[in-house]
Amino acid sequence: MSVTRVLVANRGEIARRVLRTVRRLGLTGIAVYVDADAEAPYVGDADLALRLTSTYLDGPALVEAARRAGADAVHPGYGFLSESATFARQVIAAGLTWIGPPPEAIDAMGDKVRAKELAHQLGVPVLPWSDDPEQADAVGYPLLVKAAAGGGGKGMRVVERAEDLAAALAVAQREASAAFGDGHVFLERHLPAPRHVEVQILVDHHGTVHILGERECSIQRRHQKLIEETPSPAVSPEVRQALAAAAERLASAIGYRSAGTIEFLLDSASGAFYFLEVNTRLQVEHPVTEEVTGYDLVAAQLAIAAERDVAVPAVAPGGWAIEARLCAEDPTTGFLPATGRVEAFTPAATPPVRWESGVEAGSYVSVAFDSLLAKVISHAPTREEATTALARALERLHLGGVVTNRDFLVNTLRSAAFAAGDTTTDFIERHDPPRALVVSDEEVARAAVAAALWRAERHRREAPVLGGLPSGWRNARLPDQRVVFSAGEATLTVTYRYARDGSVRTSAGPARVHAWRPDGIDLEVGGVRAVVPVTVAGSRYHVQVPRGTLTLVEIPLFATDDGAAPIHAGSLDAPMPGVVHEVRVEAGAHVEAGAILVVLEAMKMEHPVTAPYAGVVTEVVVRPGDQVATGAVLLDLEPEATDDEA
């Protein structure tokens, strides 16, 4: 069986990752895209790219694209239709090679309910579960409502009380349908603080199961992984052997082929583990396994699909690898999704880590897709070294524009709890690492001076006449030049004056510009010199500081009236960009504090907007289907009068 032209039925960073190996092996890489992805970097990485007029969940359209491009194989990546046995059969029926497990294996394990039944039959421990909502009491509260056809936290809700079950079922079913094209969900007992440990398997075309170690993926928000590592700091040699044996039994029982992952929940105190699910595809976190084994899992998938032998490493994994998921979201608002333009994105050359990015400077992040922007992977001889390298690489990433979780990731990696390996699934709730950039007043002042002098040097170079004169030169004694910036809620005023010898007197101390370039400035302030990356987008200055990137917004020296009408004090605003999925109230309705008023959908997840206080809805501004930006008025809610006010 020959594989020469591979269509990647996916998008973003995983499409780039698969295409890289495809082209490295001398094969032709083919991409597909919808209009929202027309300028995405992965489209340019492919040898050919075909536009889809529907969605990435349209199996027949993807097969037709493969036929038009002359592809002889399809790689599904992860998410979307990667765990759809129906899509796998459509690919095979078209005479194409499916780069993944047999459809029968996807049926057996891709459906989480059937996977649990089989695991139980094979003697692998499972948590109480049921696909019948009437059995919720038997499963036991708290419980999880989970999508049967996919993962990644989509279609998943924790339910503490019986009266909340119906609403959680409805939301989970809608999210599962939107993300995976299948709204089937089931119930499972919820363990509040286990470790999430998974085993990477690779099964060759002869049926031999190879175990490539375990990964720990316990640091999560909304049941979605943020940081993954291998090996797990909590798995003993005995537990590792037991996990591998359970994974091998499951894979052999279903005739699995290709790469896959068997996931477990681990009680690190007792060593007991419970089967969670099987991901019949490549995982988001597969690079950490590749780093410690030196093995290309995508290349192995291609070889197995072509029925060629694979040379699986016989040596034990070496060193430690950690991956962080850089996402478009705001940790300070409960990790709500964020959208916007990526105005700066320049990874530093050191430390040498692996970047798997779906964006670049200029990319636009919309509400249509998952929030994952990039994965950053470090590999070192020890966990401490890998952690330090990953944190430093994230800090040195010059990043601006869309809000991300970068600073939260750095603070987590640098926390004492992470260093101690105390990484259960409630890590964020228990330890609550700082969710924003931690920067001193002195660093903010230096960044503001860097922005002001970068601005001054740019103006001098753009001057149509007398460009050789120092910035702000006048044939008279005048006040120092002045620039005003905002940094969050703070306002900073920078004053500066150039001297004849090229030095600059600034509000932060004596300074000197050693060199200027469009993307940065070599600047000395107060005797401390550094090359500072600077990116400007409109009035925003993204300035690199030691722990990350600080965004400063230039404030005009002369106030302007933009004519905007004041927002009513009782207005309820959108906490994030998204699409209005549901409006649950009408004008005139009396609502209690905490009642769900509007449901927004963004990045395949639903987010309820609740009443901050009891009151009366006086006006509803939006309708289902409306797309709203952060801060857009959804409705007006007048607080109920107190007895004294009445």
Nearest to 155 by CA among 139, 168, 165: 168
128-189 folds as Dna Ligase; domain 1 (3.30.1490)
Coil/strand/helix, residue 404: coil
Report how many helices (DSSP H) and strands (DSSP E) the chain contains, helices first. 16, 38
Residue 448 near residue 545 (C-beta atoms within 8 A):
no
Q: What is the mean pLDDT of residues 178-182?
A: 78
Coil/strand/helix, residue 111: coil
Q: What is the mean pLDDT of residues 241-245?
A: 96
Q: What is the mean pLDDT of residues 197-219?
A: 96
The distance from CA 74 to its chain's CA centroid, rounded to whole angstroms, is 25
Q: Give residues with Cβ within 8 angstroms of 481, minimum separation 6.
A: 456, 471, 472, 495, 496, 497
pLDDT > 90 in the chain, percent: 71
Q: What is the mean pLDDT of residues 497-505?
A: 92
CATH number of 195-431: 3.30.470.20
Look up tokens 């089989």; give the residue: 118
Residue 328 near residue 403 (C-beta atoms within 8 A):
yes
Global pTM reads: 0.86
Using CB atoms within 10 Å of the CB of residue 19, give its burial: 0 to 12 exposed, 13 to 18 middle, 19+ buried.
buried
Residue 93 phi, psi dihedral angles, 5° rounding: -65, -25
Residue 103 is encoded by which pair of tokens? 């459809």
Residue 2 is encoded by which pair of tokens? 């020959």
Strand 490-498 relative to strand 481-487, pairing: antiparallel
Q: Where are the beta strands (DSSP E) in 403-539?
A: 481-487, 490-498, 503-506, 509-517, 520-525, 528-537
Q: Residue 478 pLDDT > 70, yes or no? A: no
Q: Which amino acid is at 609?
A: V
In angstroms, the CA 22 to CA 33 distance is 18
Q: What is the pLDDT of residue 645?
A: 47
Q: Residue 631 pLDDT > 90, yes or no? A: no
Residue 514 near residue 524 (C-beta atoms within 8 A):
yes
Q: Give residues with Cβ within 8 angstroms of 284, minimum separation 6.
A: 14, 78, 152, 225, 228, 325, 372, 375
Residue 41 near residue 360 (C-beta atoms within 8 A):
yes
140-174 pLDDT, tens digit each: 999 989 887 766 677 888 899 999 999 999 988 88
Q: Residue 328 pLDDT > 80, yes or no? A: yes
In angstroms, the CA 611 to CA 424 distance is 32
Residue 349 is encoded by which pair of tokens? 């050359």
555-570 pLDDT, tens digit each: 987 755 544 444 445 6
| 500-524 exposure pattern, b = at least 16 Cβ within 10 A, e = fewer | eeeebebbbbebbbeebeeebbebb
Q: Give residues with Cβ within 8 angstroms of 448, minimum separation 6.
A: 483, 485, 487, 492, 494, 508, 543, 552
Q: What is the pLDDT of residue 578?
A: 85
User: Which residue has better confidence, 331 or 468?
Assistant: 331
250-274 pLDDT, tens digit each: 999 999 999 999 999 998 778 899 9
In angstroms, the CA 335 to CA 432 distance is 13
CA atoms within 13 Å, Cβ hemisphere of 206: 7
Q: What is the mean pLDDT of residues 509-531?
A: 96
Confidence tier at 393 by pLDDT (50, 70, 90): very high
Residue 592 phi, psi dihedral angles, 5° rounding: -95, 155
Nearest to 30 by CA among 75, 78, 87: 75
Domain extents for the chain?
A: 5-99, 128-189, 195-431, 441-555, 571-639
Give me the residues paired with residue 638 across strands: 616
Q: Give residues with Cβ within 8 angstroms of 575, minimum separation 6.
A: 333, 336, 607, 609, 630
Residue 452 near residue 483 (C-beta atoms within 8 A):
yes
Residues making up the chain, counted from first to last: 646
Q: What is the pLDDT of residue 539?
A: 94
- Convert 317-333 into a string of H (helix), E (strand) and C (coil): CCCEEEEEEEECEEHHH
> What is the CA angle 14-16-18, rounded to 5?
70
Q: What is the pLDDT of residue 43?
A: 98
Q: What is the pLDDT of residue 468?
A: 57
Residue 8 near residue 32 (C-beta atoms within 8 A):
yes
Q: Residue 427 pLDDT > 50, yes or no? A: yes
- The residues that are catalytic are 281
User: Which residue has better confidence, 523 or 176?
Assistant: 523
Q: Residue 646 pLDDT > 50, yes or no? A: no
In angstroms, the CA 98 to CA 266 distance is 33
Residue 311 phi, psi dihedral angles, 5° rounding: -95, 95
Q: Residue 95, by phi and psi: left (phi above 0), alpha (psi -120 to 50) or beta?
A: left
Q: Residue 424 pLDDT > 80, yes or no? A: yes
CA atoms within 13 Å, Cβ hemisphere of 412: 30
Nearest to 353 by CA among 317, 379, 327, 387: 379
In angstroms, the CA 437 to CA 550 distance is 8
Nearest to 224 by CA among 150, 173, 290: 150
User: What class does CATH assign to 5-99?
Assistant: alpha beta
Q: How far are the Cα atoms of 77, 237, 248, 318 from residue 211, in angstroms, in the given order?
A: 21, 14, 8, 15
273-289 pLDDT, tens digit each: 999 999 999 999 999 99
592-625 pLDDT, tens digit each: 988 899 998 886 678 888 888 889 999 999 999 8
Q: Longest C-alpha distance within the chain, in Å?
A: 90
Q: Residue 397 pLDDT > 70, yes or no? A: yes
Per DSSP, helices labelled H in 272-380 are 286-293, 297-305
Across 290-299, 362-371, 526-535, least confident range: 362-371
Establish whether the linkage from the previous residue to 142 is cis, with ω within 30° of 0.
yes
Domain 441-555 has CATH 3.30.700.30: yes
Q: Residue 177 pLDDT > 90, yes or no? A: no
Q: Residue 502 pLDDT > 80, yes or no? A: yes
The distance from CA 519 to its chain's CA centroid, rounded to whole angstroms, is 26
Q: What is the pLDDT of residue 566?
A: 44
Kindly report the average pLDDT of the chain as a whole number.
91
Across 337-346, 551-560, 636-645, least confident range: 636-645
CATH number of 571-639: 2.40.50.100
